[in-house]
Chain A
Amino acid sequence: MSEEKISIIVDGQKILCKKDDTYLSAITRAGIEIPTLCHMEELKPSGACRICVIEVEGAPNLVAACVTPVRPNAVVTTYNERIHRARQTNIELLLRSHPLNCIVCNKNGVCTLQKLAYQYVPKSRLSKLEGKKPTTDLLEVNEFFVLNYSACIRCQLCVRVADEIQVCNVLSMQDRGFNIYPSAGFGRSFEEAGCVACGNCVEVCPVGALVSKSIKTTKSRSYELKKTVTTCTYCGVGCQLEILVDPKQNKIVNVQSHRDSINGLSLCVKGRYGWNYIHHQDRINTPLIKKNGKFEEASWEEAFDLIEKQFKKIINESGPDSLAFLTSAKCTNEENYLMQKLSRAAIGTNNIDHCARLCHASTVTGLVKSFGSGAMTNSISDLTNDAEVIFIIGSNTTEAHPVIGTKIKQAVKNGKTKLIVADPRKIELSDYAEVYMSQRPGSDVALINAMIKYIIDEGLYDEAFIKQRTEDFEKLKENISKIDFSSLCKIANVEEEEVKKAASLYATAKTAAIIYAMGITQHTTGTDNVLSLANLAMITGNVGKPGTGVNPLRGQNNVQGACDLGGLPDVFPGYQKVTNEENIKKFKEFWGVDKLDNKEGLTVVEIMNEAHKGNIRGIYIMGENPVISDPNVNHVREALEKVEFLVVQDLFITETAKYADVILPGQSFAEKDGTYTNTERRVQRVRKAIETEGSRLPDWKILEIMLNRFGIEKHYNSPSEIMDEIAQVTPIYGGISYERLENRGLQWPCPSSDHPGTPILHKDKFSRGKGKFHAINYLDPDELPDDEYPLILTTGRNLFHFHTGEMTHRVAGIHQRKPIEKSEINVKDAKKLGIKTGDKVIIESRRGKVLTEVKVTDRIKEGVVFMTFHFKDSAANLLTNDALDPLSKIPELKVCAVKVTKK
């Protein structure tokens, strides 16, 4: 950066400024306070409230500090009588249109207008604050918040946050002059205008106009609420929340974003409003033991005794490998560590896995083969700040990772980034895309190979990068030379021109990032898909620098951490192979055990298969719900029926828990301490915000007791001590401690206590040394449509729900928004079948059938049907195919053949 030396004189004192400073930014940085009502650092300044006025020598009028760029050597006064009078008058003007009912307002004590009024308006003026009020017979109410127009001060912060941060195009000011008000326009409700209820507008409202409904339920004043900063428990973005607890009731009453974080101002509807399940009556409060087919309350002692007795019996009769453990992508790192320690050190089996198998097993396998590390290569911020081009394939980002979705929209809107989207559905981001390709589900290798072929044929590849950083390019090139571009496009069912455009856009950008999710991974060719994307990134040199990389978006809040901490059948924590003698030796010594299993254990689907066969006799499931989330659910149900002894640890009696012999009540994220690792490998703190109810124990405590019961005598005073243990045996977490995580967390690898963390992987060299190209050829999905099952079913997510819906369905507002599944079918297919929107249909595959409501749309490709898997009454996974990717063992959730009939 060039050293621009601009200075201004503020109140007689010299202040150094940056070139693009406004008076407000420069002066507040120098520690002088200037009051504002409509300014927010995250937003473009608007200059609406005119409270931040200052005097600049030479300017005829007062100057709004927030919008005026600094002029070198300007002489500025920030406070004098003229300024005071101007501010006072403008504040009085706002008060005259504002109800002066602070005493009953939710914002009392935290209201900016109230604060300014106290500073600037003398009591004697109160009687003068008269006159007509703006129209108040308007009210916007939805499930989550209320807009009370009578309190609105027309600062437009809500409109600007909707426009600039959420990029939702919902809000604008309507009417003019005294009568303006924020509105969705044309008499529509916010929801009708496409509001996704992120509540970001509510967060920025400086007065009591936009208020979350939940806060209205508390009798405590806003300033009395206890604030706890923690990590959101929904998706893998890892947004930082501030949980506000009413100490009088020990209840959460509001959630707001923690602005100094990766998410900044943003949260999504689930993060902000999806927490009421924590206080839901369905929560389990004590251990439950099934007696005569019915669950009965039991003491912890009874429950532990029973588990110990049963597991020991099974181990004695058929060895430790007849037990299996499903750890949890929802639980903390510390809990996952203890769970695998229980399985490996205490029980003696590597039969431990979790639902990462269902989402990113192929990512881990593929990226390890190509790069040497199976995680997202880059950081969220550099994707959205530094990428000239983002190629999104198989990720419905705005629904599944909403905050990353909004950041991508921001980047496109600001003209920084061009988007390429490949998806069988016209997802929201396709509206922002420069190129949109609608490939047939399961044809990704063909599509990516077509792009690679075009790039190689046109000479658009990065020769220097390939030479210095990679190996086996010749193999790729030779393989590609044998394939025909047109036939690849035909397989993928996409226009050749579009593919060419996408390929050249991606290849010629200075920085181009790939973002993908389960649209890529959940295939029998999942690993091939990932390898192909790695090929694409490497031929164009798009690895190892900001704004590039291959970036799998991890689904659950801690799926990254569950993998990192060894919740996988083949690795100890930190991806240390269980088959490696040195590793075994290290862990034996560290854990103080004589023996560790040295063969790879079973994966999720294999565990169910073996249970079905009777080879797995006992399962311990923590915070997972395979009866909804796994493919071919009927098969899973039969397997769980057959298991002799099933332990489920959860918040609710889930569909899976119904099969359990013992249910242990866990704690939600708001009730315990710990850490989660988000999709960008950032380890962040989870902090206890409320006291739990009943006799529930934190999950790490339950696991500690289990470890003790099975011979590992180790006691932890807090999760912090568990993390210290993790750091000692897990090189990528080697430098992580709670103390260091306090602000913004750390991104692994963080090998030592002085290491700053790693925002970008493979910077100078790949984790495996050289990046490796793989020659990949297209293979058909396991099941293709035929005469009997003529359509392809693909599955995905919806913004409002999370995973199997155990949490979100228990949040009244969210459930109200999306109470039932509405499967999508293309207009042309619907016409052939005589189906219209709102009809009930039966979707049937070779494995089962479900009843669902249908939505007819042209946003889905012809021949494809789409369902989410959030609804147990229309469980998509009754239909899905459990055929596995041979390498990563991920099932093909994204493609199966179905038929649709009108009910």
Chain B
Amino acid sequence: MNKSNHFHDITEEAILLSKEKHNKNRIIIGYGTCGIAAGAEEVLKEVQQVLHELKIDDVIIEKTGCIGCCSYEPLMDIELANSPRVSYKNVKPKEVKEIIDKHFEGELKKEKVFCMFDEQENIIQNQESWKYNIPEIYSGLPTFKSLPMLKKQKRITLRNVGIIDPENINDYLARGGYQALYKALTALSPKEVIDEIKSSGLRGRGGAGFPTGVKWEFAYNAELSKTTEDSIEKTEKYVVCNADEGDPGAFMDRSLIEGDPHSVIEGLTIAAYAIGATKGFIYIRAEYPLAIKRLEIALKQAYENHFLGDNIFGTDFHFSIEIRKGAGAFVCGEETALINSIMGLRGEPRPRPPYPAVSGLWGKPTIINNVKTLVTVPVILLNGAKWFSSIGTEDTKGTAVFALTGDVKNSGLVEVPMGTTLREIIFDIGGGVKGDKQFKAVQTGGPSGGCIPFSLIDTPVDFASLKKLGSIMGSGGMIVCSESTCMVDLARYFMTFIASESCGKCTPCREGTVRALEMLEKITSGDATIDILTDLEQLSLVIKDTALCGLGQTAPNPILSTLKYFREEYIEHIEQKVCRAKVCPGLFNYVINDDLCIKCGVCQNVCPVDAVFGSKETGFFIENRLCISCNACFERCPKRAIEKVN
């Protein structure tokens, strides 16, 4: 049987089906977790209702993943036959009818328009991009790529997210899906695949930035075969996709899987082929039900199309993938703990060496790659190592995917070439700080990362540069902090997270993070003396120096980097008992601005400790000695008349 023809056939059919779709009217809803959280489900229902009412039945309703502009969700796109797709932002259900009505009538509800997609670029070389005829009425609409948020982005890893229907394999195939796997299996030897990845300079996107090709080579070379007396047995090997994304504020992996699950499968299968594995696992947090569901659908489709299973593309390569759900322990993202978890053991890291590439799952060579790494692999194989290595910096090739959050205007998923500066990401792409507040710092790399102050905002992002500043690239969390972020409190927050996520195996991480947290709590509550900083720094350094796994070794980074760049805030907390960001309870006061106060009494009603005195007649004042800084009055005041002062 000629499987290769079979592959050509289904690809062609998929392209045809994809083209046909553009000949029809479509409504596409951003249906990632961010979209759903913003109300996409209600929007979708409304769309169905409206179409039913309007008796329009030739419209295809599709769901897509997160296009990256999370703060504009729910996004509802309408694409009339052969016309560009127009995206409407922050769509409320009650607005749906009007938007659809108008759009189908040939009008636009301009103030809700986010952008239009004048073309659907396909970054895979030699692959046709979809171009539209632009009706006159659309002229002047911003195109997706011209949006300020997108201008400096380069979407390689995110190439399909928000573009395709993740539950439809034809969409993926039409955009070059499984071509790379086909190429690898039919035209390249495993060694050639490894060499290609090696020379592309791809580094693991999970945090540590280890060169992916080198890692694969270890596993490839590890015990190629075990010779027994009578037979030569091939050693079992495994590949694992690490989708145990646990950093607070990080959602890159989730969005990728929700929006483009087949890329993960394809990347993992190529990795398996390269090292000689026949079994793969996708280790994903159980808290990602939608991602899991889409993966399951994608896996089923991949098996049905023989992209997984026995004799893939008619070759003698067999590969199967199993999903393993993690129970939500942050430490299980650490590769040795992840291995234990897959094997049904306690999710506890073990010392390395031996590295998993030599001895991993059940003692066999095992490759563990992050979602973003694997998704990038197919593009590299198709476009070539040279193409990939031309992007990025000397230190780090390619692009970086960040989950941009915090006090930033345009929060969302962004992908930029390595070497883009923090300023470009935060101000050009992110639109700067929300509410026109003062920028204070950016926290990168999640709980293991560090805080970078404004003075270093022109630092380019790549593994080496961030490390030099005491932070890390990590898996791609980027939290923007404004003047209303207390840096001591931020360190306390991350330490709370780490202390509760430590597995407890090694002394410095189990005990040290708790003691560091106790010290930070002392500082934020104004109970510390200045010598605590020496103890805190000392303890942090020993944790970093002696902890068993990466989680523990990087756990003190938030403390050390804030101590380095924001030491004066610590000293203020300790010596002046002042929290300049007015976050730490007890270290600032609430006062009522009489000019704004309308004497409604809400503050008095909500105060749980009766610290608000006065009456509607006389007005109100806050007795700060009784106040517990619960912030209730501040939040509930209809006139924002309550102010925080130092």
Which A residues are CB-close (under 8 A) to B515?
A: 93, 96, 131
Q: Flag the segment in A175-183, A253-261, A569-577 that touches B.
A: A175-183
| B501 interface hit (Cβ, 8 Å) | yes
Per-position 1/0 for B546-567, Cβ under 8 A of A: 1110000100000000000000
| A225 interface hit (Cβ, 8 Å) | no
| B394 interface hit (Cβ, 8 Å) | no
Indicate which residue in A64, A82, A86, A172 contacts B346 across the interface (CB closer than 8 Å): A172
- 464-512 of chain B: CB within 8 A of chain A: 499-508, 510-512
| B329 interface hit (Cβ, 8 Å) | yes
Known: A50-B546, A177-B501. 6 other contacts (CB 8 A): A45-B351, A61-B545, A89-B508, A131-B515, A173-B346, A178-B513
Task: Say whether B514 contacts A178, CB under 8 Å.
Answer: yes
Per-position 1/0 for A144-183, Cβ under 8 A of B: 0000000000101000000000000000110111111000
- Nearest CB in chain A: distance from B451 CB, A: 21
- Nearest CB in chain B: distance from A804 CB, A: 43
Report which A residues bind B (CB closer than 8 A): 45-51, 53, 61-62, 64, 67-69, 82, 85-86, 89-90, 93-94, 96-97, 128, 131-132, 154, 156, 172-173, 175-180
Count of B interface residues, CB-CB < 8 Å? 34
Which one of B346, B350, B511 has the highest number of Cβ atoms from chain A below 10 Å of its Cβ? B511
- Closest Cβ neighbor of A67 among chain B residues: B351
A633 and B166 alpha carbons, distance in the complex (Å): 80
Task: Say whether A180 contacts B542, CB under 8 Å.
Answer: no
Task: Say whether A47 contacts B504, CB under 8 Å.
Answer: no
Task: Say whether B351 contacts A180, CB under 8 Å.
Answer: no
Task: Say whether B539 contacts A89, CB under 8 Å.
Answer: yes
Task: Say whether B502 contacts A89, CB under 8 Å.
Answer: no
- Closest Cβ neighbor of B515 among chain A residues: A131
Task: Say whether A89 contacts B506, CB under 8 Å.
Answer: no
A203 and B412 alpha carbons, distance in the complex (Å): 56
Task: Say whether A85 contacts B538, CB under 8 Å.
Answer: yes
| B582 interface hit (Cβ, 8 Å) | no
| B217 interface hit (Cβ, 8 Å) | no
Which B residues are CB-close (under 8 A) to A179?
A: 504
Which A residues are CB-close (under 8 A) to B503?
A: 176-177, 180
A94 and B510 alpha carbons, distance in the complex (Å): 10
Task: Say whether B507 contacts A48, CB under 8 Å.
Answer: yes
Q: List 13 A-B contacts (CB under 8 A).
A: A46-B350, A69-B353, A89-B512, A89-B538, A89-B546, A94-B507, A96-B511, A131-B515, A131-B518, A177-B499, A177-B504, A178-B510, A180-B510
A94 and B511 alpha carbons, distance in the complex (Å): 7
**Interface of chain B: mostly helix, strand, loop or mixed:** helix
Task: Say whether A176 contacts B329, CB under 8 Å.
Answer: yes
Task: Say whether B502 contacts A93, CB under 8 Å.
Answer: no
Indicate which residue in B353, B505, B546 contacts A90 across the interface (CB closer than 8 Å): B546
| B13 interface hit (Cβ, 8 Å) | no
Which B residues are CB-close (under 8 A) to A96?
A: 511, 515
Task: Say whether A86 contacts B545, CB under 8 Å.
Answer: yes
The 8 closest A-B pairs by CB, nearest first: A180-B504, A93-B511, A67-B351, A89-B542, A177-B502, A47-B351, A50-B546, A178-B514
Task: Say whether A177 contacts B500, CB under 8 Å.
Answer: yes
| B535 interface hit (Cβ, 8 Å) | yes
Which A residues are CB-close (under 8 A) to B262?
A: none
Which A residues are CB-close (under 8 A) to B502?
A: 176-178
A94 and B508 alpha carbons, distance in the complex (Å): 9
- Closest Cβ neighbor of A94 among chain B residues: B507
Task: Say whether A178 contacts B511, CB under 8 Å.
Answer: yes
| B544 interface hit (Cβ, 8 Å) | yes
A154 and B512 alpha carbons, distance in the complex (Å): 14
Which B residues are CB-close (under 8 A) to A93?
A: 507-508, 511-512, 515
A156 and B505 alpha carbons, distance in the complex (Å): 8
Task: Say whether A178 contacts B538, CB under 8 Å.
Answer: no
Given A62-B546, A89-B538: A131 touches B504 (CB 8 Å cut-off): no
Per-position 1/0 for B348-371, Cβ under 8 A of A: 101101000000000000000000
- Nearest CB in chain B: distance from A158 CB, A: 14
A86 and B547 alpha carbons, distance in the complex (Å): 10
A82 and B544 alpha carbons, distance in the complex (Å): 12
- Nearest CB in chain A: distance from B127 CB, A: 43
Which A residues are CB-close (under 8 A) to B508?
A: 50, 89-90, 93
Given A96-B515, A128-B535: A64 touches B548 (CB 8 Å cut-off): yes
- 331-345 of chain B: CB within 8 A of chain A: 331
- Nearest CB in chain A: distance from B246 CB, A: 13
A61 and B548 alpha carbons, distance in the complex (Å): 10
A69 and B518 alpha carbons, distance in the complex (Å): 36
Which B residues are CB-close (under 8 A) to A175?
A: 504
Indicate which residue in A61, A128, A180 contacts B546 across the interface (CB closer than 8 Å): A61
A89 and B544 alpha carbons, distance in the complex (Å): 12
- Nearest CB in chain A: distance from B206 CB, A: 19
Which A residues are CB-close (under 8 A) to B504?
A: 154, 173, 175-180
- Closest Cβ neighbor of A155 among chain B residues: B507
Which B residues are CB-close (under 8 A) to A67?
A: 351
Which B residues are CB-close (under 8 A) to A51?
A: 507
Which B residues are CB-close (under 8 A) to A49?
A: 506-507
- Closest Cβ neighbor of A88 among chain B residues: B542
- 416-451 of chain B: CB within 8 A of chain A: none
Which B residues are CB-close (under 8 A) to A131?
A: 514-515, 518
Which B residues are CB-close (under 8 A) to A50?
A: 506-508, 546-548
Which one of A62, A64, A82, A89 has the highest number of Cβ atoms from chain B below 10 Å of its Cβ? A89
- Nearest CB in chain B: distance from A413 CB, A: 13
Indicate which residue in B510, B539, B542 contacts A154 across the interface (CB closer than 8 Å): B510
Which one of A46, A68, A175 has the highest number of Cβ atoms from chain B below 10 Å of its Cβ? A46
- Closest Cβ neighbor of B501 among chain A residues: A177
Per-position 1/0 for B41-78, Cβ under 8 A of A: 00000000000000000000000000000000000000
A748 and B283 alpha carbons, distance in the complex (Å): 57
Which A residues are CB-close (under 8 A) to B510?
A: 154, 177-178, 180
- 266-310 of chain B: CB within 8 A of chain A: none
A541 and B95 alpha carbons, distance in the complex (Å): 88
Which A residues are CB-close (under 8 A) to B353?
A: 68-69
- Nearest CB in chain A: distance from B317 CB, A: 28
- Nearest CB in chain B: distance from A97 CB, A: 6
- 528-548 of chain B: CB within 8 A of chain A: 535, 538-539, 542, 544-548
A440 and B513 alpha carbons, distance in the complex (Å): 61
- Closest Cβ neighbor of B514 among chain A residues: A178
A822 and B194 alpha carbons, distance in the complex (Å): 64
A47 and B349 alpha carbons, distance in the complex (Å): 10
- Closest Cβ neighbor of A178 among chain B residues: B514
Which B residues are CB-close (under 8 A) to A128?
A: 535
- Closest Cβ neighbor of B544 among chain A residues: A61
- Closest Cβ neighbor of B498 among chain A residues: A177
Given A94-B511, A154-B510, A178-B499: A132 touches B505 (CB 8 Å cut-off): no
- Nearest CB in chain A: distance from B235 CB, A: 14
Indicate which residue in B500, B535, B542 contacts A86 across the interface (CB closer than 8 Å): B542
A90 and B513 alpha carbons, distance in the complex (Å): 12
Which A residues are CB-close (under 8 A) to B507?
A: 48-51, 90, 93-94, 154
- Closest Cβ neighbor of B549 among chain A residues: A47
Indicate which residue in A45, A46, A132 contacts B514 across the interface (CB closer than 8 Å): A132
A177 and B515 alpha carbons, distance in the complex (Å): 12
A210 and B329 alpha carbons, distance in the complex (Å): 29
Task: Say whether A47 contacts B548, CB under 8 Å.
Answer: yes
Which A residues are CB-close (under 8 A) to B506?
A: 47-50
Which A residues are CB-close (under 8 A) to B518?
A: 131-132
A49 and B503 alpha carbons, distance in the complex (Å): 13
A131 and B519 alpha carbons, distance in the complex (Å): 9
Which A residues are CB-close (under 8 A) to B553?
A: 61
A93 and B502 alpha carbons, distance in the complex (Å): 15
A178 and B329 alpha carbons, distance in the complex (Å): 14
Which one of A85, A90, A96 has the highest number of Cβ atoms from chain B below 10 Å of its Cβ? A90
- Nearest CB in chain A: distance from B516 CB, A: 10
A156 and B350 alpha carbons, distance in the complex (Å): 13
Which B residues are CB-close (under 8 A) to A86?
A: 542, 545-546
